[in-house]
Structure 1
């Protein structure tokens, strides 16, 4: 497949070649795509819709090790239409932060017609891998249970996450029973074996790389890429010192090698936290990617 670069800064696009690599300067970003052009350049503007916010509700059964809640936004779309769903997972090194971090992105997706499910999950070090992945699988089962009440199209569920949330969403997507149609992942730690036994990863896994090499591989999305993996949109800061950029470039390359649709949006002059805080162009490009993937899959089902 051909690879082109594209992107946008407040709707203005400027392409030019440099050192043989097609680049787009757009909000200080390089945008690579496995398709003819990135989805954001092909997206069609459409009006936003209103949404209603439900009270937080448990998505785990009574016997779950810890009660966990989901925050749900329901878009105001035609009453006879099934709607796509976005499962949102926050970052925080697998052991802190909250769904608050994903509120603005959830609202943006709801305005685009997605039912959004913004979830909490169990934290390390009290709960170690794969507890967090089991939480997301339970969230997916719960989403299916609500399908009729919320007019959910269970074949159009996407995963959205940043940092450790992106890691969990991508792991879910690559598992046999994942059930995600596409992924939007930022600051993704794709290969835990690359880390020098830092505290967060050791506490997440429950040991060092030397002590638990198999668990590190099992918990690393890059080792689970396969030809049937769902399409991925990745965004990452070039100056990310916490999760270096090669986590994104290597993962993108692994997806491409398997023939999986992938877009990589590299943000210049951004570190791990600023890549998330100053993310607007990346998220708009990512949502355009999700929209295009779901539309293509929906058309294929007709």
Structure 2
């Protein structure tokens, strides 16, 4: 892993523009600059938004809905799907924030499933992860109806949504984060996340993380480790595309860099796309270049959007 260690030293100095290794890449992008390895997306197809549907069973602690958008693709064709998860500090916001991304992905022939989840502090971790695991079970149960290729399901999230999607992707089938529903239905083919809080142990004891985990780092140290995606990285992890503002003060950029390097250390394909001069909110609102690069990455990993 000599190249990886060279990348680590490079990133520690802040970086200039580009660094490659055997299974990953880092790109520091200026506004309007094309993404590393960007492939021109296919002409967008039209899509239809369905009425929101409940994806949780009747005995679930809270009724939660999924918004499905179906792309216009030839009859009989199986499509990839995208599970989309909004941010909001684990305690607010809604799938409304991700509708633009859902339309963009549906335009590339993904069936999009834009979901709500339970909020902290009323519901503490791992309730939110279990909601996403249930959403994946629902996607599989409805795969024939929506013409989804279940071997090509990707995950997309921003901020706290990125945190939850990453945990979903990294949760072992047998470990403490494993779904209680059994089977392989939580497996993601690839992941694209932005503004990712990858290591909760590095945050101060602010109300958002304390509310999610039910205590401070000193009170619940194991919970902080368990809820940190970086501590679950393993060689079998799916490929990750990570975008992050290099001026992010809410979720410092080292959260993205460290996670990228942890993936590299395990030989997991990954790309890190740093948005020059962007903070946490700005990197989401001004995400055009990052999303083009993310969709190109996802298309490569799932064999195209169609």
Decide whether the 8 Å contact of 1:85 with 1:116 is kept in 2: yes
Asked if residue 165 in structure 1 is aligned to residue 161 in structure 2, the reply is yes
Q: SS of the residue aligned with 1:158?
A: strand
Cα displacement string for residues 227-248 of structure 1 (whole angstroms, at most 9, x for unaligned residues): 0100000000111110000000
Asked if residue 258 in structure 1 is aligned to residue 266 in structure 2, the reply is yes
- Among candidates 79, 84, 87, match of residue 88 of structure 1: 84
The match for 1:183 is 191
Decide whether the 8 Å contact of 1:29 with 1:267 is kept in 2: no
Cα displacement string for residues 75-110 of structure 1 (whole angstroms, at most 9, x for unaligned residues): 010112110000000000000000000000000000
Decide whether the 8 Å contact of 1:29 with 1:266 is kept in 2: no
Assess, with a 3 A threshold, how the Cα gap between structure 1 residues 125 and 219 changes in structure 2: closer, same or farther: same
Cα displacement string for residues 215-258 of structure 1 (whole angstroms, at most 9, x for unaligned residues): 10110000000001000000001111100000000000000010
Asked if residue 225 in structure 1 is aligned to residue 233 in structure 2, the reply is yes
The match for 2:145 is 149
The match for 1:101 is 97
| CA positional deviation for 1:26 | 3.9
| CA positional deviation for 1:28 | 7.0
Assess, with a 3 A threshold, how the Cα gap between structure 1 residues 265 and 97 changes in structure 2: closer, same or farther: same
Distance 1:153 1:125 in 2: 36
Asked if residue 138 in structure 1 is aligned to residue 134 in structure 2, the reply is yes
The match for 1:10 is none
Decide whether the 8 Å contact of 1:30 with 1:268 is kept in 2: no
RMSD: 2.2
Distance 2:225 2:273 in 1: 25
Decide whether the 8 Å contact of 1:235 with 1:264 is kept in 2: yes
Distance 2:298 2:170 in 1: 17
- Among candidates 201, 206, 215, match of residue 207 of structure 1: 215
The match for 1:34 is none
Assess, with a 3 A threshold, how the Cα gap between structure 1 residues 28 and 249 changes in structure 2: closer, same or farther: farther
Assess, with a 3 A threshold, how the Cα gap between structure 1 residues 202 and 75 changes in structure 2: closer, same or farther: same
Q: SS of the residue aligned with 1:148?
A: helix
**Number of aligned residue pairs:** 277
Distance 2:106 2:266 in 1: 32
The match for 1:27 is 31
Decide whether the 8 Å contact of 1:173 with 1:183 is kept in 2: yes
Distance 1:19 1:166 in 2: 24
TM-score (structure 2 length as normaliser):
0.86
| CA positional deviation for 1:176 | 2.1
Asked if residue 75 in structure 1 is aligned to residue 71 in structure 2, the reply is yes
- Among candidates 45, 58, 61, match of residue 62 of structure 1: 58
Distance 1:52 1:231 in 2: 29
Q: SS of the residue aligned with 2:217?
A: coil
Decide whether the 8 Å contact of 1:193 with 1:216 is kept in 2: yes
Decide whether the 8 Å contact of 2:29 with 2:276 is kept in 1: no
The match for 2:177 is none
Decide whether the 8 Å contact of 1:58 with 1:69 is kept in 2: yes
Q: In structure 2, list runs of 5 or more residues that go unmatched.
A: 8-14, 21-26, 174-185
More relative contact order in 1 or in 2 (CA 8 Å, sep 6+)? Answer: 2
The match for 2:282 is 274
Asked if residue 237 in structure 1 is aligned to residue 239 in structure 2, the reply is no
Decide whether the 8 Å contact of 1:235 with 1:266 is kept in 2: yes
Decide whether the 8 Å contact of 1:55 with 1:72 is kept in 2: yes
The match for 1:284 is 292
